[in-house]
Every structure is written in C-alpha cells, then in structure tokens.
C-alpha cells in the first residue's frame, strides 16, 4: 500500500526477507522477463502483460481519481487475491515515464512477487509484547527494496551518478539519490 506523504506508514509484518534475498528475486524476475541487462525497465508492460503469465489469478484495476476506493493512496495491492488497484492519474503518468509513478507500480508488483502474506503468529506476538517492527519484516520496506532492486539493479547502477541513474532507469531524482547513498553501505553491496 502506498500512501501520500514523505513518510510511508509501516506495513503489516510478513516473513522476514533481507536485501540479498530480495535482490535475488528481482534479478531472477529480470531474467524471466528478458530484461537482465536493460537499464530502463518498462514496468507498465510488466504490469499489463507479464504478471498474468507468472501469477495465474493476477488482475489489475485502474481506478478513477475521484473514486473513494483509493482515497489518500496512489495504489494498493491485495496479495491474497492477487489484485493491484492503481489510480488512473498514476497509471497515466507511469505510461508517460514519470519516475515516482513507475516506482509506485514496481512497489505494488513487489507485494505480489514477494508473495506477501501476513505473518500472523508474529503479529500476535507484537500485540502481546509491543515492540517495533524490524524493517526486514515490514511488507512496505520489502516492497520498496524490491522496487529499487528491480528498477535500479545493483550491477547496472553501481558505478553511476545520481543523474545517470535518473536518466537511464527512469526513476525520480530522490529515488536515484537514495539508491546511490544506500549502495555505499556494505550491507547493500
């Protein structure tokens, strides 16, 4: 689920996944889609055509901006039902190459490709023993990592400047800058 605002709300707890595991999944999918060495990924094409070959019950819906279904959100995903709902303006902007909208779609696909399902025993434990949700158990964090790994693969962007990442991968300046900063840290390499 993607919310408006700079701080993304915490997601539901899901089985833990580390950066390396999410990167492996993103790389494998890039292989399956035949785009391993392409810097620019046509995420709308993957949303429209490839999802259905990979997930048999998958469907996506474009929802009018005035529809209360997506009030305050760009898009949302129901992993159990394998449905992605996207605001019409976000879909249209993604088709025109807007970086933020492309990232939103990659994030939503991430919830499906990572097969997100609530870690119910852990959620119960959190209620019983209130504690912060570790990032690698947070569905929203995992979907963001997936979107970054899928749109800006490590092997392609590791030597690039922020501007080069923006231009080559079709992402927003802030997504490119975040990626560049994170890839300087040892656990992201």
Contacts with Zn ion by CB under 5 A lie at: 1, 140, 143
CB-CB contact of 75 with 126 (8 Å)? no
Tell me the backbone φ, ψ of residue 8, rounded to 5 degrees: -75, 135
In the structure encoding, which two tokens stand for residue 31, read together? 């292989």
**DSSP at 158:** T
Number of other residues whose CB lies within 10 A of the CB of residue 54:
14
- Cα separation, 35 vs 17, in Å, equals 24
Q: Which is nearer to Zn ion, 145 or 176 (CB)?
A: 145
In the structure encoding, which two tokens stand for residue 49, read together? 């055509």
Shortest Cβ distance from residue 184 to Zn ion (Å)?
26
Shortest Cβ distance from residue 10 to Zn ion (Å)?
11
Shortest Cβ distance from residue 130 to Zn ion (Å)?
23
Q: Which is nearer to Zn ion, 110 or 153 (CB)?
A: 110
Q: Which residue is nearest to Zn ion (CB)?
A: 1
Q: Which is nearer to Zn ion, 1 or 44 (CB)?
A: 1
Shortest Cβ distance from residue 111 to Zn ion (Å)?
6
Q: Which is nearer to Zn ion, 2 or 162 (CB)?
A: 2
């Amino acid at each position: 689920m993607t919310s408006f605002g700079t701080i993304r709300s915490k997601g539901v707890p899901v089985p833990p996944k580390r950066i390396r595991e999410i990167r492996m999944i993103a790389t494998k999918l890039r292989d399956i889609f035949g785009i391993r060495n392409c810097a620019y990924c046509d995420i709308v094409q993957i949303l429209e055509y490839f999802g259905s070959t990979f997930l048999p019950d998958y469907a996506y819906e474009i929802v009018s901006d005035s529809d209360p279904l997506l009030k305050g959100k760009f898009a949302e995903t129901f992993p159990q039902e394998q449905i992605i709902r996207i605001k019409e303006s976000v879909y249209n902007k993604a088709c025109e190459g807007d970086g933020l909208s492309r990232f939103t779609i990659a994030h939503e696909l991430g919830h499906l490709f990572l097969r997100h399902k609530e870690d119910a025993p852990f959620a119960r434990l959190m209620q019983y023993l209130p504690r912060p949700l570790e990032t690698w158990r947070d569905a929203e964090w995992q979907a963001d990592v997936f979107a970054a790994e899928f749109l800006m693969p490590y092997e392609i962007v590791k030597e690039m400047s922020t501007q080069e990442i923006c231009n080559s991968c079709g992402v927003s300046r802030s997504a490119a800058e975040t990626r560049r900063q994170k890839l300087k840290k040892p656990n992201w390499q």
